[in-house]
Amino acid sequence: MDTILDIKNLTIKFGSFTAVDNISFSVGKGEIFGFLGANGAGKTTVIRAICGLTNITSGAIFINGANISSRLSFIKPHIGYMSQKFTLYKDLTIKENILFSAALYSMDSRQGIKRMNELFEYTNFKENENEFVKNLSGGSKQVVSLCACLLHNPDIIFLDEPTAGISPASRVLFWNLIRKLSGDGKTVFATTHYMDEARYCFQIALMRAGKIIALDSPENLKRITACDNLDDVFIKIISETKGNYES
């Protein structure tokens, strides 16, 4: 499989604090890559670095073979980013938000509306487009956010905890969308706190204190640790690395 994202020895420091500590991995085209880890593990920092929003201390990040440090403006049209915080404007309607995002990618309103309708159909989104975003449910808000970052048809989409704080039913629907995107050739890079969501991923990276302590497919992880559900896998891996630290 072709590689779309390649991270080599990435280290990110804030002053003397090392938020990301020499990590390397690569993600293939069309994969769903799961990025897991406790609060403060460094997940968001990695995503922000890939999207060019944080300075890299050392190492390199490549998207489609291009180094983001030198070719960010070339890469930006190929990436979509949905941040951990809800970032749409609550005092604008769904349509206004979407058209604004479209304009940021230099689409005029006709193109924007066309893309919006396509994406709402794709995601099976049924709300009135003139509804104010503040009146939407958590799940609907996340779908609109997702559509906003898909407008320019990026190759790889970074979703930072897209399912945090929404209902279990909405979470399932959202992950169905992620799988649909992957089926259509999009690469999805998602962070989550929910272990049950990890089973949809092709690869899982488990982060702890800035380091990747496990990186494999869900099946392999289960086999290596001899556990039959992912919750147990993670408990086992984390307790083992803790042991390593102590020894």
Partner 1 sequence: MSLDLSRVKAMALKECKHIIRDKFTVIMGFCLPIALILFFGFVIELNYDNINILIKDDSNSGQSREFVEKLKAGGYFNPVYFFGSDILEPINKNQSAAAAIIDKDFGKNIKNLKPAKIQILLDGSDGQKAGLSISYISGILEQITKDLYGGKSAYEIRTRFLFNPQLNGKWFTISGLMVVIIGLLSILMTALTISKEWEKGSMELLLSTRIKPIEIVLGKIAPYIFLSFIGALLVFITARTIFGIPFNGNILLFWIMCFIYIVSCLSLGILISVIARQQQLSMMISMVIGLMPSMLLSGFIFPIENMPLFFRILTFILPQRWFMEICRGVFLRGAGFTDLFLPLFMLCLFCFLMIIAACKKFKTDIEI
By CB under 6 A, tell whether 195 contacts ligand ATP: no
For residues 165 and 86, give the distance between their C-alpha atoms in angstroms, rounded to a whole number. 11
Among 36, 41, 159, 237, interactor with ligand ATP by CB under 6 A: 41
Q: Does 16 bind ligand ATP (CB under 6 A)?
A: no
| Residue 109 burial (CB count, 10 A) | 12
d(CA 111, CA 143): 20
State how far the Cα of 191 lies from the Cα of 193, in Å rounded to an integer: 7
Provide the total of helices (H) and of strands (E) in the chain, helices listed first: 9, 10
Determine the length of the chain.
247
Q: How far is the CB of 12 from ligand ATP (least distance, A)?
A: 8
Site residues for ligand ATP, window 65-84 (CB under 6 A)? 84
With binding defined as CB under 6 A, does residue 212 bind ligand ATP?
Answer: no
- Per-residue contact flags (x/-) with ligand ATP for residues 109 to 148, judged by CB under 6 A: ----------------------------------------
CB of 235 to partner 1, least distance (A): 32
Cα–Cα distance measured from residue 21 to residue 75, given in angstroms and rounded to the nearest whole number: 24
Per CB under 6 A, contacts with ligand ATP among 169-188 are none
Q: Which is nearer to ligand ATP, 99 or 204 (CB)?
A: 204
| Piece in contact with ligand ATP (CB under 6 A), picked from 41-49, 116-124, 136-144, 224-232 | 41-49
Cα separation, 113 vs 95, whole angstroms: 8
Provide the 10 A C-beta neighbour count for residue 71: 15
Pick one of 21, 37, 44, 51: the residue that binds Mg ion (CB under 5 A).
44
**Nearer CB in complex with partner 1: 109/137:** 109
Question: What is the spatial distance between Cα 18 and Cα 189, in angstroms, rounded to a whole number?
Answer: 22
**What residue ranges bind partner 1 (CB under 8 A)?**
48, 51-55, 73, 76-77, 79, 81, 83-89, 91-92, 96, 99-101, 103-106, 108
Separation CA 236–CA 166 (nearest Å): 28
Q: Which spans of this chain sit near ligand ATP (rule: CB under 6 A)?
A: 14, 17, 19, 37, 39-45, 84
